[in-house]
Amino acid sequence: MKVLFTYDYGQKKMSCVQDLGYEVVYVYEKDVRLNEQTKDAEILVCYNPFPHLDIQRMESLKWIQLSSIGIDQAPVAYIQRTGITLTNNKGGYSIPIGEWIVMKILELLKNSGKLYGLQQQKKWALDTTLLELYGKTVGFIGTGSIAGEAAKRLQGFGTRILGLNTSGKDTPFFLRCYPMDEMEEMLKECDIVILTIPYTEKTKHLINDQTLGWMKDPVYFINVSRGNIVDEGALIKNLNNGKIKGAALDVFEEEPLPVSHPFWDYKSVIVTPHNSWISEMRNERRFALILENLRRYKNEEALLNVVDLQKGY
C-alpha cells in the first residue's frame, strides 16, 4: 500500500512507516501534484494540498489523515460522497493551546501589554488596575480536548469553569455544562469567554451582535478556534463601546491578518499569528497518531479520530 506524505517527519520516523509494510512517498505540500508517483496513493497524510492536488483523480485513495484539528480546508463534500475516510489530529495540539489560553487570560487581566510597553520606554509607572483570576467565572464555548486541557489548568487558579456543548453533557473539569440552546444563560455568567468550538456551517458567525449582547459588561474574549466563527464587525463594535474589555485572538476571518485591519491598533487586543498550537512536541504527538492509525489501517482495526462528516468534526 502506498502512503503519500506532504510533510517530512525525518528518516527515522518514515522508516517506522516502511517497517509496517507501506510504500512511502514524500512530496513537499506546496509542490505536490497529481503525477505517476502520487496518483495511485491509497493514503494521504497532509494538511492542505487540496488547492493543487486533484484528489478526484486519485482513484485508489481511501483514507486522508489530516495534521490539523479543523477540516474546513478539505473538500468535504467530495470526501463524503465517495466514502473516503477522513481523520484529523484531535487532541494533538490541546496541551500547548490549553497553556496559551491560560497565558493570555493572565496577560489580559494583568495588563502585560501595557507593562511591556512601559519597559520599552524605560518608564517606571505603577499600574493599579490589575485584576485577579481567582474567583472569576470562565466559560468555554465548546468542551472538547482543547477546552479540557485549559480547564484542567484553570482549576488551580480558583476559577469557576462553565462549558457549552451540543447536549449539555457533563465533562471533566467543568463545574457545569449547558446545551447550545442555553447559550444565553451561560454567557451571562462569564467574566471570560473562550471560543474552542469546531467550525461548521452551523457555527459560522456564532459570535455576533446577539450573542455578544448576552455577555457580561465588561467581558474578556479569547478565540483559538476559527476566525469565521466570529463576526469581526460585531466584535469591533463591542471593543469600541467598551463591552469587550480585552481580547486575545489567534485566528481570524482572513489570514494572514491584513496590515490595515483594525485589530492591530487596539491596545486592548492581543493578536497572534495562529500560533497557539506550536510547541516542541507538536511533531512527536502528530506522528504518534499517524503511526498508530497506519498500524490500525494495516490490521483492519478502527482508526482514531475519524471525522463525522455530517457534524463536521
Show which residues are catalytic. Answer: 226, 255, 274
Nine-digit cell string for 76:
468535504
Distance CA 114, CA 124 (A): 12
Sheet with 63-66: strands ordered across: 23-26, 2-5, 43-46, 63-66, 85-87
CA distances from 193 to 170, 177, 188, 270 (A): 19, 14, 10, 15
Number of H-type helices and E-type strands within the chain: 9, 12
Residues 6+ apart with CB under 8 A from 100: 224, 250, 275, 276
Grid coordinates given for 45: 497524510
